[in-house]
């Protein structure tokens, strides 16, 4: 039964990946192994392969896969979009996830696609050091997105306070990328009445929600872009302030969707594939690994779609879902891989033999 499932995966991925039959088979078994074993650790995955070879031999096979396979930066993005069957537009969330392997920092800058139910890593880069991304790295990632997908696919780009800066926002605005990004309360702005002050002073009397237009910096900036701002007090009295290049009346509600990428990181780590179990530290290998994890996340998410259909997810008394959409699909997928592998791989049939740029 597992052989038929493996054949289906290979058939769907083969037209899109320049891999030998052996490498393609290894990739497919890796993805299935990640689901079954709930880890990306190669020594554990070596025990998941349905082969008569010694575990040591299989482990070396996996090492050679990551050593020699290089599919480029964005090979997975079109496959992911086709598998989840998203509509013509979606939200994008930008954030980092990082951890340490010994003394080495693993630091991913991730651009994720977020829809009503799905949250999937779409494109990413390994920063190669600890700390925040810089403007050039963010712009480079967005340029990669715009080289694969039309800007019209973006409902809004959402990001936290780390992702600010005049050059970065100017790039997004000039490329017509709609965004809602949280900013710091000490940011200096000039309002339409000509007053220049930091946001915490401007909003010191803010109790409810407040929308206004302003531009960053002082009055001497001349042609500086006017942006829309929205603000409110949150628990503890802290100011939540977002900036957008679209009217701000829905900006705060839209910004709530940014939390989806935090949940996504949990899906790739402790709630799902334990990404931090990897011992890989080389950027090229890490980028390939996250591509495999992204396909597995999409697979689990699409399995939930098939299981739930148009039905409603169960909620507990406190109002939160009993299980996340991802965990519903992930648990069902693990069950099907053991009981009905052919049903388990059915989401892969959504990937056509040829993918054209129709988004």
Domain boundaries, the chain: 1-71+280-350, 78-259
**Kind plus residue range of the DSSP H or E element containing 120:** strand 119-126
Span 280-299, pLDDT tens digits: 999 999 999 999 999 999 99
Query: Which stretches of the chain drop beneath a pLDDT of 50?
Result: none
Span 53-87, pLDDT tens digits: 899 999 999 999 999 999 998 999 999 999 998 78
Contact 321, 314 (CB under 8 A): yes
For residue 179, list its beta bridge partners: 157
Cα distance between residue 325 and residue 115, in whole Å: 12
pLDDT given at position 356: 59
Cα distance between residue 231 and residue 239, in whole Å: 7
Residue 134 tokens read as: 């810089």
pLDDT given at position 319: 62
Contact 91, 261 (CB under 8 A): no
- pTM comes to 0.94
**Kind plus residue range of the DSSP H or E element containing 71:** none
* Residues 104-124 as b or e (16 or more Cβ within 10 Å = b): ebbbbbbbbbbbebbbbbbbb
Cα distance between residue 6 and residue 98, in whole Å: 32
Cα distance between residue 26 and residue 35, in whole Å: 14
3-state secondary structure of 328: helix
First vs last C-alpha separation in the chain: 36
Cα distance between residue 154 and residue 114, in whole Å: 10
CATH number for the domain running over 78-259: 3.90.350.10
Q: For 169, how many CA atoms within 13 A lie in the half-sphere containing its CB?
A: 25
pLDDT given at position 86: 75
Cα distance between residue 32 and residue 174, in whole Å: 42
Longest dimension (CA), the chain: 76
Cα distance between residue 169 and residue 183, in whole Å: 11
Sheet of 119-126, strand order: 119-126, 104-114, 90-101, 154-159, 179-182, 239-244, 227-233, 210-216, 188-191, 196-198
3-state secondary structure of 58: helix
Q: What is the DSSP string of 151-214?
A: GGGEEEEEE-TTS--HHHHHHHHHTT--EEEE--TT-EEEETTS-EEEHHHHTTT--S-EEEEE
Cα distance between residue 199 and residue 186, in whole Å: 6
pLDDT given at position 1: 59
pLDDT given at position 314: 75
Residue 63 tokens read as: 């090492």
Q: How far does Cα 216 stand from its chain's mean position?
A: 29
């Amino acid at each position: 039964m597992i052989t038929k499932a493996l054949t289906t995966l290979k058939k769907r991925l083969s037209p899109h990946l320049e891999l030998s039959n052996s490498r393609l088979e290894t990739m497919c078994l890796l993805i299935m192994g990640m689901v079954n074993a709930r880890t990306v650790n190669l020594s554990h995955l070596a025990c998941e392969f349905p082969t008569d070879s010694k575990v040591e031999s299989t482990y070396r096979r996996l090492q050679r896969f990551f050593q020699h396979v290089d599919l480029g930066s964005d090979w997975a993005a079109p496959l992911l979009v086709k598998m989840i069957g998203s509509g013509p537009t979606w939200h994008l969330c930008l954030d980092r996830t990082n951890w340490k392997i010994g003394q080495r920092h693993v630091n991913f800058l991730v651009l994720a696609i977020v829809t009503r139910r799905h949250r999937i890593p779409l494109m990413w880069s390994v920063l190669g050091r600890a700390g925040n991304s810089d403007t050039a790295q963010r712009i480079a990632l967005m340029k990669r997105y715009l080289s694969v997908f039309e800007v019209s696919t973006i409902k809004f780009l959402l990001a936290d306070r780390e992702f600010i800066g005049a050059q970065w926002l100017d790039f997004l605005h000039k490329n017509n990328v709609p965004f809602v990004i949280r900013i710091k309360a000490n940011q200096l702005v000039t309002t339409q009445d000509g007053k220049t002050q930091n946001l915490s002073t401007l909003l010191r009397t803010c109790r409810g929600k407040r929308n206004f237009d302003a531009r960053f910096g002082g009055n001497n900036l001349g042609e500086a872009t006017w942006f829309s701002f929205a603000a409110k007090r949150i628990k503890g009295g802290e100011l939540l302030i977002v900036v957008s290049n679209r009217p701000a009346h829905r900006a705060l509600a839209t910004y709530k969707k940014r939390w989806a990428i935090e949940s996504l990181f949990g899906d790739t780590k402790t709630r799902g594939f334990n990404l931090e179990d990897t011992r890989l530290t080389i950027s090229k290998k890490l980028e390939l690994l996250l591509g495999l994890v992204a396909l597995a996340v999409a697979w689990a998410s699409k399995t939930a779609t098939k299981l739930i259909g148009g039905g409603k997810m169960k909620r507990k008394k406190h109002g939160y879902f009993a299980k996340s959409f991802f965990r519903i699909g992930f648990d069902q997928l693990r069950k099907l891989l053991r009981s009905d592998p052919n049903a388990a791989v059915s989401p892969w049939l959504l990937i056509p033999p040829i993918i054209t740029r129709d988004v």
